[in-house]
Amino acid sequence: MKFRSLTGSRLGRVVIAAVPVGVAASLVMTGVANGAVPVSFAVSGSQFKIAASSLDGTAFSQYAGVAAEKNGTPHPVAISNIGSASLSDLCQSVVTDTPLGKVGLLISAGGGGNPATATDLQIGLTDLQGDATFGKIRIGVDASTVNTPAKGEAGGFAQDADTIKISGLKQTAWSTQAGVFTLNGLHLQLTDGKECF
């Protein structure tokens, strides 16, 4: 993930440039070793992709977690929480191999200047790309003290921010949940394997 700006200082920009690798590795490896916070439901055996031309959110935090399948198979994830989010040109896709070949489910919403919105959004992700700007970010806070209602385990590595903006969002995830998810202009279709990216 490429970060355009964090603060007015050059040091702030240099420090945040290390977040994708450093935080992801620390969150997942340290969190899994210490029994990270689990995603709150059993996940399927397939990851899915989410894309948006832009995401604007408030009350952001991120820490290590584990998404587990019903059979107990664990998948390390970075759990991202966003208190309220607005997503323009949202796309979500998942592809499954079947006896008939690849079958995909493609969902789009939030186009035409009428973005999709979510409250209490939580994502269990494994990859995130885009140009991001954080407002009042804190890196290296204890996961149990992040400034969001959802928190990680005491002693875990985390980051939080008052605001988050990502342009050209592309992410791969095991789970997404929200208090309310409003999909304006929803279009759901079966495909022969087409994905968001």
| Dist CA 156 CA 141 (whole Å) | 8
pLDDT recorded at residue 25: 54
The answer to whether 93 and 195 have CB atoms below 8 angstroms apart is yes
Looking at residue 40, its pLDDT comes to 85
Q: Collect all residues with Cβ–Cβ distance below 8 Å to 189 and sequence separation of at least 6.
A: 105, 106, 107
Residue 138 identity (one-letter amino acid): R
Taking the C-alpha atoms of residue 41 and residue 76, their distance in angstroms, rounded to an integer, is 14
DSSP string, 76-134: EEEEEEEEEEEEESEEEEEEEEETTEEEEEEEEE--TT--EEEEEEEEEEEEEEEEEEE
Q: Is residue 191 part of a domain?
A: no
Residues 148, 159 contacting (CB under 8 angstroms)? no
Domain membership flag for residue 167: yes
Residue 101 resides in a domain: no
Q: Would residue 17 count as lying in a domain?
A: yes
The span from the CA of 113 to the CA of 124, in Å, is 27
Any domain includes 8: yes
Expressed as residue numbers, the domain containing 164 is 2-91+118-178
DSSP 123-151: EEEEEEEEEEEEES-EEEEEGGG-SSSS-
Dihedral Cα 126, 56, 181, 149, nearest 10 deg? 70
Tell me, yes or no, whether 56 lies in a domain. yes
Which tens digits make up the pLDDT trace of 54-83? 999 999 999 999 999 999 999 999 999 999
* pLDDT for the residue 20: 47
Q: Which residues of the chain have pLDDT under 70?
A: 1-36
Residue 182's pLDDT is what?
98
The answer for residues whose C-beta is within 8 angstroms of residue 99's C-beta and 6 or more apart is none
What CA–CA distance (Å, rounded) separates 161 from 144? 15
| 185 in any annotated domain | no
- Residue 188, in any domain of the structure: no
CA distance 161 to 138: 6
The tally of domains found in the chain comes to: 1
How far is the CA of 15 from the CAs of 12, 70, 139, in angstroms? Answer: 5, 39, 9
Model confidence, pTM = 0.82
Task: Note whether 196 and 49 are within 8 A (CB).
Answer: yes
